[in-house]
Amino acid sequence: MLLVILGAVAALGVVFAQQAFQVRDDLKAAQEKITQIVPLVKSGDTAEVERLSGEITALTTSANEIASNDLWAFASAVPWVGANVSAVSETTKAVHVLVQDAMPIAFELLTVADVDNFTVEGGGINLEPFRAAQPQIPALRAAFDDAKSHVDKIDRDAIHPLVEENIGQLVDIIDEAAPALAFAEEQLPIVIAVLGGDGPRNYALLFQNNAEIRATGGNPGAGAVLRVDNGKVTMREDAEALSFMASGPRGWYPQTLGDKSKMAIFETDTWTYSQNYTRTPDFADTAVLMGGLWGDTVGGDLDGIISLDPVTLSYMLEVAGPVTVPGEDTKITADNAVKTLLSDSYERFGGRGDLADAYFARVSAAVFSKVMSGGWDPLAMLEQLQKAADEQRVYAWFADPAEEAMATELDIDGSVLASNEDETQVGVYLNDSSHSKLEYYLSNKITVTCSAEDRTVTTAIAMTNSVPTADLSTYTLGARNSSWGYPRTTMFLDVIGTALPGGSLTSTSPAAGDRDGWDRSGVYNERETRSLFVTIPMGESRTVSFTSTVPDGAAAALDVRYSPTVTQTPVTVDASCEQLFPGSTTPE
């Protein structure tokens, strides 16, 4: 009797192994055919697409029927091996759902997602592909949600590494795609509205110059007024726009935030000179100041304010290709854009700051116009913009609450939070105080450490001045330095740190800045805040830190804000923060 049972089990094992190999072969064959079909969709070969689609569906149907039979259900309940069998079975079911329900929709969308379909004559983005996609997304999302319901049953900690190796990538794709499609379904109508799909929009575009650093990037010494109408983007050059630009990014015009404690943190000319409006760490404050300037010079309200830096422009040129600036011989490329804009322009014109700023504005506008002319891969451009946003180089503010909520969701609103509810935000911000372009040579590193015993969090910034020589243009070198007794190659920085909402600043290091009367303090978005005046000589480094108490209830993961420079800013959250803020430690 025992031999009979063992023989039956062995036979079942052989059958199951055969079925497992068949499932594997079917899924591999389907995957290979899917990679063949995407180029065919783009080329318009509908007959071949239909033939391959039928073969793919047959393969995944076969695999799904095998993985759903009673033998697989029995094997899924067997100790030790059951988790692996179940993982393969659920993954197979998920693939079948995607091929049967999502693939036809995806292929239909691919036919309208050709690069040429997004181009608008004269510059801009064709909204028709977005409008065509909008009614399709709910069904596509439903298919991925169905697929996710299967992979969510997989215990990835319990499966064999070989099984994880074979199914892990697919499971990750489904896990990421489902919420992304939910976001697209919710936000696509808003994106269409932002692009002028519901009527023309006016946006102020700021190019922040990292060489003269400001809290959200740099001196907005150049900008433009954009009119966006049904996807078509033009730079306004009418009298109203020119009036705003003359008083705005290139002029003096008094504005106020109306909050004296907040305003006390910054130099007084922050509120009178528009190139200083980006000294405020919360981009919404910049929007208030720029919006007030628009109202005073043009009248009415702006629909939004968008900020980019030259590093972002260089990323965009990776996709859009080089641009020739009118009247110039040198082509601006992804490789030379930053140096051309932030260094060469100021050395080329020597002490003529007006000419250097005009050149910066002309090149920035030419690069942006090149990007807006279209003809590039939209997905590749989105990747570059996402990279820039991750480096805190892109900010946007919109007057419409739903559009501003989207900016928040995309993490480009630049908010200094007044609550620890969703995330525990720490940060250090920099403002040039030497009236120079020396910060082209500035590099930073940020480290966050914690003390669970003392319930404190310390944010430190290490800053290095890599100015190579004193033989630079007078416009690049520090204008204030000589009168204050410093070499003109020394960087002057207002280094700003805040306590957590509900916490307090217990210490700073150093305890005081380098010039009497130039340290400032106040309350910024309900956060105790200090600004230290710090000098960094050529070739030297300085580290400044701010320590805040951690109030009760502040346990969400840490989010670190900083002022972007020309180079990358490495951010490290030490393991000492894991106890207070689970999930915050920087991976090694």
What token pair was written down for 391? 């480096």
Mean pLDDT of 51-64: 69
In a domain, 15, yes or no: no
Confidence bin at 391 (pLDDT 50/70/90):
very high
Domain presence at residue 135: yes
Tell me what the pLDDT averaged over the chain comes to: 83
Span 157-162, average pLDDT: 62
- Model pLDDT for residues 435-447, shown as the tens digit of each residue: 999 999 999 999 9
181 and 215 in one domain? no
Residue 10's pLDDT band (cuts 50, 70, 90): very low
What are the angstrom distances between the C-alpha of 430 and each of 212, 255, 533, 562?
10, 21, 10, 8
Between residues 416 and 245, the one the model is more confident about: 416
Residue-level pLDDT at 273? 87
Q: Examine the pLDDT at 8 and tell me if it is beyond 50.
A: no
Q: Is the pLDDT of residue 480 over 70?
A: yes
- Residue matched to tokens 């997905």: 379
pLDDT value of position 485: 95
Crossing angle of the two packed helices 161-194 and 137-151, in degrees rounded to 10: 160
- Write the pLDDT tens digit of every residue in 451-478: 999 999 999 999 999 999 999 998 899 9
pLDDT given at position 72: 56
pLDDT at res. 102: 72
Per the structure, the count of domains in the chain is: 3
Rounded to an integer, what distance in angstroms lies between the CA atom of residue 33 and that of residue 100? 14
- Inside any domain, residue 588: no
User: Is residue 586 in a domain?
Assistant: no
For residue 256, the enclosing domain spans 201-390
- Domain finish residue from 147, 165, 194: 194
471 and 446, same structural domain?
yes
Residue 10 within a domain: no
Closest CA to 424 of 459, 390, 392, 394: 459
377 & 232 share domain: yes
Q: What is the pLDDT of residue 12?
A: 42
pLDDT at res. 49: 63
Backbone angles phi, psi at 381, to 5 degrees: -65, -40
Residue 5 has pLDDT above 70, yes or no: no
Phi and psi at 27, nearest 5°, equal -70, -40
Q: Where are the beta strands (DSSP E) in 337-401?
A: 395-398
Domain's final residue, options 194, 211, 240 = 194
User: Does residue 558 lie within any of the structural domains?
Assistant: yes
- Asked if residue 413 belongs to a domain, the reply is no
- Quick: pLDDT tens for 485-537: 999 999 999 999 999 999 999 999 999 999 999 999 999 999 999 999 999 99
Least confident of 3-12, 94-103, 127-136, 152-161: 3-12
pLDDT score, position 363: 80
The string of pLDDT tens digits covering residues 61-76 is: 776 676 666 655 665 6
185 lies in the same domain as 243: no
Q: For residues 153 and 269, state if they share a domain.
A: no
Residue 144: the pLDDT is 78
Same domain, 177 and 251: no
User: For the range 189-192, what are the long-range contacts, defined as Cβ-Cβ under 8 Å and sequence gap of 24 or more?
Assistant: 189/134, 190/402, 190/403, 190/406, 191/130, 191/406, 192/127, 192/130, 192/131, 192/134
Could you tell me if 564 and 450 lie in one domain? yes
- Residues 277, 373 share a domain: yes
Name the least confident of 251-255, 309-313, 413-417, 489-493.
251-255
Do both 536 and 460 map to the same domain? Answer: yes
- pLDDT-derived band at 21, boundaries 50, 70, 90: low
- Indicate the range of 134-143, 170-179, 190-199, 390-399 predicted with least confidence: 170-179
Q: In angstroms, how far is CA 517 from the centroid of its own chain?
A: 37
pLDDT higher than threshold 70 for residue 290:
yes
Best-predicted range by mean pLDDT among 226-235, 286-295, 560-569? 560-569
In the predicted model, what is the mean pLDDT of residues 34-51? Answer: 62
Average pLDDT on 540-550 reads 98
Give the domain-ending residue among 140, 167, 194: 194
Does residue 325 sit in the same domain as residue 353?
A: yes
pLDDT score at 539: 97
Same domain membership, residue 254 and residue 174: no
352 and 438 both lie in a single domain: no
Task: With respect to residue 216, please indicate whether it lies within any of the assigned structural domains.
Answer: yes
Q: How many CB atoms lie within 10 A of CB 81?
A: 14
Q: What is the DSSP code (8-state) at residue 153? A: T
- Both tokens of 258, joined, read 């109306």
